[in-house]
Amino acid sequence: MTLAVADLLKKSQSELDDLFRAARPGPIPDGEAKGTAIIAPGTAFSDEIAQVVSIFAWQGKVFDAERGFLRNHILPFGLKAIVAKVYMGPSWLDQNECIVIDYSETSLVASRVRDEIRLIQPGLYLGKVYWGKSRLIDFALEV
């Protein structure tokens, strides 16, 4: 079954967690990845919130797989900022391998943020966002 980002927005939090747990890390992406925030998953508001976040705050990530870092594509005018290290490591969700996006040493603004992603199908990653050790939201990346 092929999934679209619209399908992910309709899934419940437990369904998203199950999808993440069942996935392998896949390769670290390289280049542009379109991002979609998944906030209030499985509710009528998820799609509208994702659209607002995309317009005003976050549009995705630009990976440099060879160097092991990325920049976020943020703000309405497409600024590429907020750098993170990217590497393989254990997920905080299930301790299995994932791609870790680590801001702790590269960003004052996001130093407490950690993202984790796994490839759920070719060209589509599902991610988890943590603030400290607390889970915040999910997101999708289309590469």
- Domain ranges within the chain, ordered by starting residue: 5-142
Taking only the tens place, the pLDDT of each residue in 11-29 is: 999 999 999 999 999 999 9
- For 58-112, strand residue ranges (E) read 58-64, 69-74, 79-90, 97-102
| Cβ contacts of 44 within 8 Å, gap of 6 or more | none
- The 3-state DSSP composition of the chain as helix, strand, coil percent (nearest 5) reads 20, 45, 35
61-79 pLDDT tens trace: 999 999 999 999 887 766 7
